């Protein structure tokens, strides 16, 4: 039970990182990016090939196999994801692609990448994925100590992510991003370089996702394209929207409540107790998906601004029209 | 050259299935401009309905009709439970897409709960699965039936849209919703009927897809969604006839690429076409480059 709650804590922490990265993109900048999970996958794969010994040819194929220590691999994974995101972002963020088309473009990019990695065995062992990655802690740790060490690791990771996200949100840069989200044309008119700002946030989000993927890899020990679904992005988005789009603390709390408490503890324990639920072993996973999505719909229906709405400082509403926020000052800072 | 003709023949079969699905999506988009991520589930439910109805009868036509009915029902339910209520409160199209994506995940999981996670298949009599030459093409009887069904469905749709009162109203709503409302057209009714036709066509596409792929699971339709988007968007989304052209391009291009290039990447090739289309001509290849939404 204690060990299990440690597991739930680690997954909640990883979800905080993922959701905060997505909050920067969707909540703050207004980009709904379905390729988000691709960068988590890159983070996981890169970490694995940097940590693992070289591939044993007939059984597994992958690049590198550098046997580096985990911290180096983490940084390497974030770096690679950032570079890939910059290259992909230049293509897909730059055009005047409407929001719903950006969504489809990003989904296509992610599914193409998943197919390439699944079918080309030489890169990351194809469909089977990579496995056998050890925890980055001393061998003589007990399972309790390892669990606690992982909790410490995700606390540091989630804390660092929260710090970065809050610094961006509070800065003049964050104001500029909100201006782009709320009225792109007005932001353009004030001289904001919308393309560069979106591209930057696309890359920052990707780096955060890669860090989460990297920790996921050393925690779970295995990763394949099966763990790479649209549903993962939607789950992170649920945390963002439920917490209040644009509010980092709200996103954090929602991630803990939704993933840590509801999905990993309440549902994992309660559903097997229901009568007739033992027959189908995947029933827990399926009902977790259903409940998470129903919660998303419920929030969007009855509380679209989220549990903790983003606080917007408003300027005096002289004209009696729509309330103004600080978008005018964004371009000067 | 014969190989090319065969590849083109397979392409036409793929085009027929993609076309049914893409025309359905475009028809819906013309009156409800949301990229509907639940569209794939219309296909999935059609396929599973045909699968389930096989316990009642082995007649493939009746099974297909069960699929059509299931698709229609799901589309109407979706409109009633998600699209209409959320369209009223959310003006941001991204929020509506998220709603349909959530709906898609829920339906996928429910299907897996009811039918189990294992693959199932729609039984097709073996005698219709033998390929023989039809001129330069190499088709099975099933392929021919699918293509005839697709052409028939398009013909019926064309008749509905151009020779009935509903069709005139539907095109009016697609053209300008507020003007149609001002002219006294019952816009809500048109939208509901359009969802019904969309579901019917998509359900039929699902049955056709299921009968050609062999075994399938709850992700059948979702995995087909991007191809549908590709065809609809390449034609110019929301324009019903352009979707047919888009489907022909996508279907034939994938099979011909599969013949000359690497056949395990043929779907990816279609998606690259979609990416190029979206990035270079975001409003479709054909017709005026006006804002489609």
Q: pLDDT confidence of B286, banded at 50, 70, 90?
A: low
- Nearest Cα to Cα of residue B221 among B78, B18, B80: B18
C-alpha–C-alpha distance, residues B240 and B257, integer Å? 26
Q: pLDDT confidence of A331, banded at 50, 70, 90?
A: very low
Q: Give the ranges where chain B is alpha helix by DSSP (H).
A: 2-31, 39-53, 60-78, 84-89, 93-115, 141-163, 165-175, 177-182, 187-213, 220-235, 240-260, 266-280
Least confident of A78-82, A189-193, B45-49, B284-288: B284-288
A318 DSSP assignment:
-
Option in A241, A287, A301 nearest B85 (CB): A301
Min Cα–Cα distance to chain B from A290, Å: 5
Backbone angles phi, psi at A133, to 5 degrees: -85, 125
Best to test chain B binding among A31, A95, A290 (most B CBs inside 10 Å) = A290
Option in B99, B116, B271 nearest A300 (CB): B99
Q: What number is the average pLDDT over the span B42-53? A: 94
State the pairing for strand pair B131-134/B137-140: antiparallel
C-alpha–C-alpha distance, residues A254 and A308, integer Å? 9
CB pair distance less than 8 Å for A115 and B233: no
- Is B133 strand, coil or helix? strand
Helix H or strand E segment including A43: helix A36-51
- Nearest Cα to Cα of residue B268 among A228, A63, A120: A120
Least confident of A6-10, A224-228, A323-327, B138-142: A323-327
What is the reported pLDDT for A330? 36
Least confident of A212-216, A221-225, B15-19, B97-101: A221-225
- Name the residue of chain B whose CA is nearest to A91's CA: B279
Reading phi first (left if > 0) and then psi (alpha if -120 to 50, else beta), residue A132 is in: left
CB atoms within 10 A of CB B88: 8
What is the reported pLDDT for A264? 77
- Name the residue of chain A whose CA is nearest to B282's CA: A97
Backbone angles phi, psi at B166, to 5 degrees: -55, -45
Min Cα–Cα distance to chain A from B225, Å: 10
The predicted-structure confidence for B204-260, as pLDDT tens digits, reads as follows: 999 999 998 888 988 899 889 988 998 988 877 778 888 999 999 999 988 888 888
A97 DSSP assignment:
-
What is the reported pLDDT for A209? 95
- Nearest Cα to Cα of residue A213 among A39, A85, A35: A39
Q: Does A291 touch chain B (CB under 8 A)?
A: no
Option in A283, A293, A301 nearest B113 (CB): A283
The predicted-structure confidence for A132-177, as pLDDT tens digits, reads as follows: 788 888 888 888 888 899 999 999 999 999 999 999 999 989 989 9
- Is B137 strand, coil or helix? strand
Q: What number is the average pLDDT over the span A239-245? A: 89
Whole-prediction pTM: 0.87
Give the residues across from B254 on adjacent strands. Answer: none
The predicted-structure confidence for B159-194, as pLDDT tens digits, reads as follows: 999 999 999 999 999 888 889 999 889 999 999 999
Q: Is the dihedral of CA A49, A52, A58, A60 positive or negative?
A: negative
Q: What number is the average pLDDT over the span A243-267? A: 86
CB pair distance less than 8 Å for A300 and B86: yes
* Residue A62 near residue A224 (C-beta atoms within 8 A): no
* Residue A42 near residue A80 (C-beta atoms within 8 A): yes
CB atoms within 10 A of CB A49: 25
Helix H or strand E segment including A130: strand A130-131
Option in B85, B94, B105 nearest A100 (CB): B94
Q: What number is the average pLDDT over the span A70-85? A: 93
C-alpha–C-alpha distance, residues B122 and B110, integer Å? 19
What is the reported pLDDT for A6? 87
C-alpha–C-alpha distance, residues B41 and B43, integer Å? 5
CB pair distance less than 8 Å for B94 and A296: no
CB pair distance less than 8 Å for B94 and A101: no
* Gyration radius (Cα) of chain B, Å: 19
Q: pLDDT confidence of A333, banded at 50, 70, 90?
A: very low
What is the reported pLDDT for A332? 35
Q: Does A316 touch chain B (CB under 8 A)?
A: no
The predicted-structure confidence for B116-146, as pLDDT tens digits, reads as follows: 878 888 888 777 778 888 878 888 888 888 9
Residue of higher predicted confidence among A122 and A75 = A75
- Report the C-alpha dihedral over residues A201, A31, A235, B82, rounded to 10 degrees: 170
C-alpha–C-alpha distance, residues A250 and A241, integer Å? 9
CB pair distance less than 8 Å for A112 and B272: yes
What is the reported pLDDT for A315? 55
CB pair distance less than 8 Å for A99 and B94: yes
What is the reported pLDDT for B199? 96
CB pair distance less than 8 Å for B116 and A280: yes
Kindly list the distances between the CA atom of residue A202 and the CA atoms of A114, B113, B197, B213, in Å, as whole numbers in the listed order: 19, 36, 39, 37
* Residue A246 near residue A20 (C-beta atoms within 8 A): no
Can you tell me the ipTM of this complex? 0.86
Taking only residues 14 to 33 of chain A, the set having a beta carbon closer than 8 angstroms to any beta carbon of chain B reads: 30, 32
What is the reported pLDDT for B273? 86
C-alpha–C-alpha distance, residues B19 and B13, integer Å? 10
- Nearest Cα to Cα of residue A3 among A131, A142, A157, A135: A142
* Residue B212 near residue B13 (C-beta atoms within 8 A): yes
- Name the residue of chain B whose CA is nearest to A302's CA: B89
- Name the residue of chain A whose CA is nearest to B281's CA: A97
Backbone angles phi, psi at A66, to 5 degrees: -90, -10
Best to test chain A binding among B22, B37, B102 (most A CBs inside 10 Å) = B102
Min Cα–Cα distance to chain B from A31, Å: 9
Q: What number is the average pLDDT over the span A172-199? A: 88
The predicted-structure confidence for A4-49, as pLDDT tens digits, reads as follows: 888 889 999 999 999 999 999 998 888 888 899 999 999 999 998 8
CB pair distance less than 8 Å for B274 and A108: yes
CB atoms within 10 A of CB B231: 31
What is the end-to-end Cα distance of chain B in Å, rounded? 43
A contacts of B275 (beta carbons < 8 Å): 105, 108-109, 112
Q: Which two tokens stand for residue A166?
A: 């809050």
pLDDT of B261 higher than 90: no
Q: Which long-range contacts (CB under 8 A, 24 or more apart) does B132-138 make?
A: B134/B9, B136/B2, B136/B5, B136/B6, B136/B9, B137/B5, B137/B6, B137/B8, B137/B9, B137/B12, B138/B5, B138/B6, B138/B9, B138/B10
Taking only residues 200 to 239 of chain A, the set having a beta carbon closer than 8 angstroms to any beta carbon of chain B reads: 230-231, 234, 237
* Residue B215 near residue B199 (C-beta atoms within 8 A): no
What is the reported pLDDT for A94? 65
Min Cα–Cα distance to chain A from B277, Å: 10
């Amino acid at each position: 039970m204690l060990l299990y709650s440690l597991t739930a804590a680690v997954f909640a922490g990883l979800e905080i990182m993922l959701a905060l990265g997505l909050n920067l993109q969707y909540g703050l900048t207004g980009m709904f990016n379905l390729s988000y999970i691709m960068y988590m996958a890159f983070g996981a794969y890169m970490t694995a090939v940097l940590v693992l010994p070289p591939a044993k040819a007939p059984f597994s194929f992958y690049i590198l196999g550098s046997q580096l220590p985990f911290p180096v691999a983490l940084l390497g994974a974030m770096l690679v994801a950032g570079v890939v995101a910059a290259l992909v972002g230049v293509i897909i963020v730059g055009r005047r692609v409407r929001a719903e088309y950006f969504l489809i473009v990003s989904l296509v990019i992610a599914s193409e990448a998943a197919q390439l990695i699944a079918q080309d065995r030489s890169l990351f062992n194809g469909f089977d994925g990579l496995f056998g990655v050890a925890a980055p802690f001393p061998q003589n740790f007990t399972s309790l100590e390892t669990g606690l060490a992982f909790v410490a690791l995700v606390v540091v990771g989630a804390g660092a992510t929260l710090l970065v996200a809050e610094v961006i949100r509070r800065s003049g840069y964050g104001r500029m991003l909100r201006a782009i989200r709320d009225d792109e044309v007005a932001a353009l008119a004030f001289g904001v370089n919308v393309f560069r700002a979106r591209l930057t946030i696309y890359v920052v989000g990707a780096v955060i996702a890669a860090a989460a993927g990297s920790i996921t890899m050393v925690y779970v020990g295995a990763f394949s394209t099966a763990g790479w679904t649209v549903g993962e992005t939607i789950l992170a988005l649920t945390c963002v929207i439920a917490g209040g789009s644009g509010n980092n603390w709200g996103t954090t709390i929602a991630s803990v409540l939704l993933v840590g408490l509801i999905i990993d503890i309440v549902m994992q324990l309660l559903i097997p107790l229901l009568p007739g639920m033992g027959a189908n072993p995947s029933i827990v996973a399926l009902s977790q998906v259903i409940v998470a999505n129903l919660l998303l719909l419920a929030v969007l229906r009855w509380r679209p601004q989220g549990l903790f709405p983003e606080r917007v400082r408003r300027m005096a509403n002289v004209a009696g029209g729509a309330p103004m926020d600080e978008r005018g000052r964004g371009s000067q800072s | 050259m014969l190989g090319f003709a065969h590849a083109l023949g397979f392409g036409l079969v793929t085009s027929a299935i993609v076309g049914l699905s893409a025309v359905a999506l475009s028809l819906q988009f013309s009156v409800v401009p949301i990229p509907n991520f639940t569209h794939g589930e219309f296909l999935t439910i059609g396929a599973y309905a045909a699968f389930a109805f096989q316990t009642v009868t082995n007649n493939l036509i009746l099974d297909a009709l069960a699929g059509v009915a299931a698709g229609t029902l799901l589309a109407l339910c979706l409109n009633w439970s998600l699209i209409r209520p959320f369209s009223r409160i959310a003006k941001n199209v991204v929020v509506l897409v998220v709603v349909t994506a959530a709906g898609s995940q829920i339906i996928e999981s429910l299907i897996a709960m009811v039918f189990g996670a294992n693959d199932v298949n729609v039984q097709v009599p073996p005698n219709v699965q033998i390929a023989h030459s039809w001129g330069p093409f190499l088709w099975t009887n099933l392929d021919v039936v699918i293509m005839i069904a697709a052409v028939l469905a398009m013909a019926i749709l064309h008749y509905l849209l151009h020779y009935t009162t509903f069709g005139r109203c539907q095109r009016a709503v697609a053209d300008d919703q507020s003007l149609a409302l001002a002219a006294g057209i019952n816009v809500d009714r048109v939208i509901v009927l359009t969802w019904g036709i969309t579901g019917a066509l998509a359900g039929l596409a699902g049955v056709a897809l299921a009968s050609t792929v062999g075994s399938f699971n709850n992700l059948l339709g979702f995995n087909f969604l991007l191809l549908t988007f590709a065809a609809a968007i390449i034609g110019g989304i929301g324009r019903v006839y352009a979707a047919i052209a888009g489907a022909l391009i996508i279907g034939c291009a994938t099979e011909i690429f599969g013949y000359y290039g690497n056949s395990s990447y043929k779907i990816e090739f279609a998606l690259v076409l979609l990416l190029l289309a979206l990035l270079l001509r975001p409003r479709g290849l054909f017709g005026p480059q006006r804002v489609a939404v």
